């Protein structure tokens, strides 16, 4: 849909709001659309000089407004409005991208409102946001909102491979939501270290019959952010799958040894129950409630382990 709109500029909206879960991918898509709009030769591969400069943010008929510190300031919006009022240098139109539009300050958002509805025949706004609900309703109402289609798992894995990551690392990075792909190696290392800590605590607490490591794990899970806490039910679910003899279906294949040990220690049905319960953490942010929730899951697992294991 997006490409069809861009290839027929007469139908492209004056203000487009791109939404999706990844700020990096939204930025990439916004620049790709700008390249199509500005391309003089309709190059489908974005290889011409105009397209390459647009994707790099260096085209004279493209301006990009980005947050400065904690918000997008009014000065940046005013500059973009003035840019849109000028004559194109190379293309037959001009494009302004507002990246992470949810960070528009109040003054900047109000300044933007004046031009979103009627930006002009040869000027287009492209706003991107991961949190459309954070935008002023009046800003949203003046834009054509289009959610970015989610890439398939295979496509996302291939994208990481194309950046130079081994296939095993790429498969894990698909499950980590990264704002900046340049941090991928560091974030992946932290992800694996946290997963190893969970498996080590489960090994110490369940296989060696010690309650203290399980209580410490419950405390750590209660303080973890949502992405880190999600690893716990995923590990339990993997262990339940491994118990059924389906180790090739593991989500966390690079941690297969620890997951198989867990599967040998805890009965499959107990693992399945624990995975479902662990995924249903309390919705509030009171640490005590979350700690008690994870303690309950872990102590139920402890009670399910045969004394002879």
Summarised one tens digit per residue, pLDDT across range 48-79 is 888 889 998 899 999 999 998 889 999 999 99
Q: How far is CA 248 from CA 192, 240, 241, 303, in A?
A: 19, 13, 9, 28
**Cα dihedral across residues 202, 206, 212, 214: positive or negative:** positive
Look at residue 2 and tell me whether its pLDDT is greater than 80.
no
Quick one: residue 297, left, alpha or beta (phi over 0 = left, psi -120 to 50 = alpha)? alpha
Q: What residues are paired with 146 via a beta bridge?
A: 18
The pLDDT value recorded for residue 82 is: 92
Q: Considering only CA atoms, which of 205, 171, 193, 160 is closest in space to residue 299?
A: 205
Res 158: pLDDT: 82
Q: What is the pLDDT of residues 245-291, one digit of tens each?
A: 776 778 888 888 999 999 999 999 999 999 999 988 876 555 558 89
User: Quick one: how many helices (H) and strands (E) in the chain?
Assistant: 14, 5
Mind listing the domains of the chain with CATH numbers?
A: 2-150 (3.40.50.300), 172-304 (no CATH)
pLDDT at 100: 93
Name the DSSP letter for residue 308.
T
- Give me the residues paired with residue 223 across strands: none
Which pTM does this prediction carry?
A: 0.56
**Residue 46 confidence (pLDDT) above 70:** no
Quickly list DSSP for 3-42.
Answer: HHHHHSGGGS-SEEEEE-S-HHHHHHHHHHHHHHHH-SS-
* Confidence (pLDDT) at 4: 62
State the number of CA atoms in the 13 A half-sphere of 9 facing the CB.
20
Average pLDDT over the chain reads 86
């Amino acid at each position: 849909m997006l490409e069809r709109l861009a290839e027929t500029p007469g139908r492209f909206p004056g203000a487009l709001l791109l939404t999706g879960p990844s700020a990096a991918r939204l930025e990439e898509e916004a620049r790709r659309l700008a390249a199509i709009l500005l391309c003089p030769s309709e190059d489908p591969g974005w290889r011409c000089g105009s397209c390459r400069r647009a994707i790099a943010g260096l085209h004279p008929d493209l301006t990009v407004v980005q947050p400065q510190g904690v918000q997008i300031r009014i000065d940046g919006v005013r500059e973009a409005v003035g840019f849109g009022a000028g004559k194109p240098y190379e293309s037959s139109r001009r494009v302004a991208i507002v990246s992470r539009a949810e960070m528009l300050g109040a003054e900047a958002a109000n300044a933007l409102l004046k031009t979103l509805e009627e930006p002009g025949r040869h000027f287009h706004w492209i706003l991107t946001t991961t949190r459309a609900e954070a935008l002023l309703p009046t800003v949203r109402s003046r834009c054509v909102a289009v959610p970015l289609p989610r890439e398939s798992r295979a496509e996302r894995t291939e994208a990481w491979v194309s950046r130079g990551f081994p296939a095993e690392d790429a498969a894990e990075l698909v499950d980590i939501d990264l704002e900046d792909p340049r941090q991928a190696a560091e974030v992946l290392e932290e992800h694996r270290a946290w997963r190893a800590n969970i498996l080590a605590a489960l090994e110490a607490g369940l296989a060696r019959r010690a309650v203290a490591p399980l209580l410490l794990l419950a405390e750590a899970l209660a303080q973890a952010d949502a992405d880190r806490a999600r690893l716990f039910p995923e590990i339990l679910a993997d262990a339940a799958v491994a118990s059924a003899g389906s180790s090739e279906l593991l989500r966390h294949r690079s941690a297969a040894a620890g997951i198989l040990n867990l599967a040998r220690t805890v009965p499959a049905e107990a693992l399945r129950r624990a995975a479902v319960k662990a995924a249903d953490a309390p919705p509030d942010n009171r640490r005590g409630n979350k700690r008690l929730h994870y303690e309950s899951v872990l102590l139920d697992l402890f009670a399910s382990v045969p004394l002879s294991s």
